[in-house]
Structure 1
C-alpha cells in the first residue's frame, strides 16, 4: 500500500472541497459560504485580468501574445522568467479555433465537449511544475487537446528533454500536430523527436517514456489514477484537478522512498477525465 501524506484533508460530502486557509471553517453551512466567497474572489481576479488584457489589446497592438504574458506577470500569476519565456515563445493564437479570442483569460471550446484552459490556469500549472521542467527532464501532458501546453513544456525541457502529450480524440491529436508545426518554437522539437503527441487513454499515462519528472493532467479525475503516480519519478511532481461537483487542483510530490505528499492548491472547474465514449456523449 502506498504511503500518502496530505497537507490538508479537503474531502467533504459530494466530492472534493478545496478550502483556502483564509476561509477554512468547521460547519457545513460555513463550508458552502467559504466556497462562494472563494469563487467570488477568483472571478473578481479574473475580471480584473481580463479588463486589463482588453486595455493592452488595442487594434494596433503588435504582439497580443506577449501582452497576455506581461499582463499575467503584472498580476503575479507568472513569477518565473522561464515560464514567461515559454509562454511568449509559444503563441497561444496558433492553438485555438478562433484566434480573435485566443488571448482573453477564459477557457475556450475546442470541440468534442472539451475546452482549452484559460491562460491564467496554464500559467499556474507551468509555475507549479517549473522546477520539474528543467532542460533534459521528461514531462507527460494528459489530455493534451490542442497541444498548447505540451508545446510550452517542450520548450522548457528543450531538445535534450522529452515532452509527451496523450489525447484520446484522434481528430484533436491530428490538429494539435498541425498547430505545433505552425509554431516556430515548438516545430523543431517535434521534428527532432523530443516532442510527441500520442492517441491513448491518458488515465493510463504513457509508460513508454516513464518515469517522468513532471505530469500534468488537463481534466478532473474522481480520484488520482494510480498509473500516473506509478509513472512519476521519485522527486517528480504531478499536478491534477480532482473531484466531481467540487474540484481541487492537487499537487502530488513523490518522495525518495516512493511515498507521495499531496496538497491542495486552489478551487478549479475542469471537464471530467473520462473515456473517449463518455466524453463524446458529453458525460
Structure 2
C-alpha cells in the first residue's frame, strides 16, 4: 500500500498513509501532520519513497518513518530522551521531538558536519522547529553514531536510520531500563529491522521484523 500513499501536500500524504493502514496511532499521525516534509526532502517531498539528500545519505520513505515511530511509541512520552542515529535531513528527529514534548529531548547524530548543518537549517525553517531547537528539545551533533552519544544517555528510545553491520553494544548500553532500540541490521547480504528491548530487569531481547533497504551505517567519507 505504500506506493498508493503519496499526496499533493503534507496533509494528503499523512492522510493516505493512515487510510492505507501505515499509520495506526493518532499520536503518530498528529506528529507527522505537524512536520512539513517539504522542509526536509529536497525533491518530491510528498512521495512515499526514499530520496537522496546528498553526502551518500537518504531520507527514508514516510511509511518507514511512521513504522519507526509506532514501534517506539510506548517509550515516546512527554519528557522522554531519544537518540536519532543517522539523523540526515532532520525530519524524523523533528517528528520524534513532537512526540516527546513538552520537556523531551532528541539528539540527532550525523558523522559529517554538512549533514549536521542541513539538519539544523531544515529544522529552523518552521516556527515549531525553531522553538524546539531554542528550548533544547532538538540538538544535532557530529559523532560516530555507532558509538551513540553518551553525553545525554540513557535514552528511553533510540532510532537508527542506517543499516548497521551488527548489534552495536554502545547503543544497547545507552538504553534506559526499560528502553527500546529500532535499527536496521545487515545479515547475509540482506537487511532486517530489529526491535531491541531492554526490560525492567536489565535483560535484552531482540525481535526480527521486516526486510528493508537502507544506506549503510559507516565511517565518515575521507577527504
Pick the TM interval, shorter chain: over 0.9
Aligned to 1:246: 190
Per-residue displacement from partner, 1:202-257 (whole Å, max 9, x unpaired)? Answer: 00100011000000000001111000000001110000000152010000000122
Q: 1:80 aligns with which of 16, 25, 28?
A: 25
Distance, in Å, in 2 between the alignment partners of 1:109 and 1:182 is: 19
Q: 2:101 aligns with which of 158, 172, 177?
A: 158
Larger Rg: 1
Per-residue displacement from partner, 1:250-283 (whole Å, max 9, x unpaired)? Answer: 00000122221111120100011110027x8xxx
Distance, in Å, in 1 between the alignment partners of 2:140 and 2:165 is: 25
Write 1 or 2 for the structure with the bigger share of helix.
Answer: 1
Q: 2:180 aligns with which of 237, 240, 246?
A: 237
SS at match of 1:121: helix
Distance, in Å, in 2 between the alignment partners of 1:158 and 1:256 is: 24
Aligned to 1:171: 114
Per-residue displacement from partner, 1:84-136 (whole Å, max 9, x unpaired)? Answer: 111010101000122xx001011000011111000100010011011111111
Structure-to-structure mapping, 1:89-100, within 5 angstroms: 89-98=34-43
Aligned to 1:71: 16
Aligned to 2:168: 225
Aligned to 2:218: 274
Aligned to 1:108: 51
Distance, in Å, in 2 between the alignment partners of 1:109 and 1:155 is: 24
| Structure 1 residues not aligned, in runs of 5+ | 1-44, 58-63
- The total of aligned residue pairs comes to 222
Contact 1:95–1:146 (CA under 8 A) maintained in structure 2: yes
Aligned to 1:9: none
Q: TM-score, normalised by structure 2?
A: 0.96
Distance, in Å, in 2 between the alignment partners of 1:85 and 1:224 is: 32
Distance, in Å, in 1 between the alignment partners of 2:73 and 2:201 is: 22
Contact 2:2–2:22 (CA under 8 A) maintained in structure 1: no
Aligned to 2:74: 131
- Higher relative contact order, chain-length normalized (CA < 8 Å, sep 6+): 1
Q: Give the deviation of 1:176 after TM superposition.
A: 1.1
Contact 1:248–1:264 (CA under 8 A) maintained in structure 2: yes
Root-mean-square deviation (CA), in Å?
1.3
Q: Give the deviation of 1:180 after TM superposition.
A: 0.5
Distance, in Å, in 2 between the alignment partners of 1:46 and 1:255 is: 32
Aligned to 1:46: 2
Q: Give the deviation of 1:185 after TM superposition.
A: 2.3
Q: Give the deviation of 1:193 after TM superposition.
A: 1.0
